[in-house]
């Protein structure tokens, strides 16, 4: 939003919202919402994360129910479907989620579980839409995320002013569609990064300069987000701090593989990618996903 933030709220019926999950992505996303003029009440199990929200001008709730009590929609930015189901299910059972409440799951969740949860919440009069994101921490900070929304068009329109404060919104289809396209996108990203790691390692062992290789790839048909961004920004600099873990990439690859297998389409590349990422995540607990480069280059890999 630009200009007077309040002008964007015409007809919304709220200027506040709740946000649960103030981690690497949730923190800059809430900051973008605050800059847009929304009053954000947020919760995270980490006291330091709640402190960051308060320091940015938000209200730190001491429990998830406190975030759900905010005047507008409730956004969830959690690790996986199990966490989303636990939080949303618990809030619904306690009455913290009320009939008419809109819940926006921006996590990377499993599409079918999202649809099942939406049906359970709908029985209580609560609407769930999914709106996962792509772009990582840098684009969360600049509020330029790609947001893939799944749900009824009227519900997406209801959420659009909130989502637009964090990035560009694409309506992917019915509920669960956002999580489906997000998983498939991340499978492509995982395959690109894994292939780039293998190619760069082989080239360096042959004696090629990694920057020369990247210059060639990025002006040729081999370019990808991995060669254009991740390698120069996070690997060659040895930063390995993109803000997205190897474990989450492995999880998303497995979700996408499940979708592909359920569709009955060929899955050889998807299966190999998911398997390799699962091995890497097991060997690199808590590591950033860009550290796949170091894992591939280890002797014996």
Domain boundaries, the chain: 5-175, 180-297
Is the confidence at residue 20, as pLDDT, over 90?
Answer: yes
The mean per-residue pLDDT over the stretch 223-229 comes to 97
Beta bridge partners of 147: 133, 169
**CB within 8 Å of 273: residues ≥ 6 apart:** 187, 190, 191, 194, 253, 257
Judge contact between 215 and 260, C-beta under 8 A.
no
Mean pLDDT in the chain? 94
Cβ neighbours for 258, distance < 8 A, ≥ 6 positions apart: 110
The model's pLDDT over 151-171, given as tens digits with 9 standing for 90+, comes to 999 999 999 999 999 999 999
Its CATH architecture, for the domain 5-175, is 3-Layer(aba) Sandwich (3.40)
Active site residues: 182
| In 37-80, alpha helices (H) | 47-55, 64-68
Mean pLDDT of 117-126: 97
**Does pLDDT of 2 surpass 90?**
no
Is residue 59 within a helix (H) or strand (E), and if so which, with residue range? strand 59-60
Q: Is 50 exceeded by the pLDDT of residue 8?
A: no
Residue-level pLDDT at 285: 87
Condensed to tens digits (0 to 9), the pLDDT of residues 24-59 reads 999 999 999 999 999 999 999 999 999 999 999 999
β-partners of residue 129 are 104
* The pLDDT of residue 300: 67
* C-alpha–C-alpha distance, residues 209 and 170, integer Å: 39
Q: Give the helix/strand (H/E) hosting 146.
A: strand 145-150
CA–CA gap between residue 22 and residue 215 (Å, rounded): 37
Is the distance from CB of 30 to CB of 53 less than 8 angstroms? Answer: yes
Q: What's the confidence (pLDDT) of residue 70?
A: 87
Q: What is the CATH number of domain 180-297?
A: 1.10.1040.10
Mean pLDDT of 194-204: 97
Mean pLDDT along residues 253-263 = 96
């Amino acid at each position: 939003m630009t200009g007077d933030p309040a002008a964007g709220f015409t007809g919304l019926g709220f200027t506040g919202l709740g946000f649960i999950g103030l981690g690497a992505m949730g923190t800059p996303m809430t900051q973008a919402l605050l800059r847009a003029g929304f009053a954000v009440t947020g919760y995270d199990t980490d006291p330091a994360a709640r402190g960051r929200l308060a320091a940015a001008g938000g209200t730190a709730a001491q429990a998830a129910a406190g975030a759900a009590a905010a005047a507008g929609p409730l956004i969830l930015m959690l690790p996986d479907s199990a966490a989303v189901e636990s939080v949303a299910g618990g809030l619904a059972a306690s009455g913290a989620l009320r009939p008419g409440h809109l819940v926006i799951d921006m996590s990377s969740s499993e599409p079918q579980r999202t649809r099942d949860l939406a049906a359970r919440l709908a029985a209580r009069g609560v609407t769930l839409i999914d709106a996962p994101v792509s772009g990582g921490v840098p684009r969360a900070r600049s509020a330029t995320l790609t947001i893939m929304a799944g749900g009824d068009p009227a519900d997406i329109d209801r959420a659009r002013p909130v989502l637009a404060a964090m990035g560009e919104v694409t309506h992917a289809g019915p509920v669960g569609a956002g999580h489906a396209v997000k998983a498939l996108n991340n499978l492509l990203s995982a395959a690109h990064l894994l292939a780039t790691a293998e190619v760069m390692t082989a080239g360096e062992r042959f004696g090629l300069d990694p920057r020369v290789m990247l210059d060639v790839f990025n002006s040729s048909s081999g370019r990808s987000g991995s060669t254009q961004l991740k390698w120069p920004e996070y690997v060659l600099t040895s930063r390995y701090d993109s803000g997205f873990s190897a474990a989450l990439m492995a999880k998303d690859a497995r979700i996408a593989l499940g979708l592909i297998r359920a569709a009955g389409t060929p899955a050889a590349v998807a299966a190999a990618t998911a398997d390799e990422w699962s091995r890497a995540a097991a060997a690199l607990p808590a590591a950033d996903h860009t550290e796949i480069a170091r894992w591939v280059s280890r002797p014996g890999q």
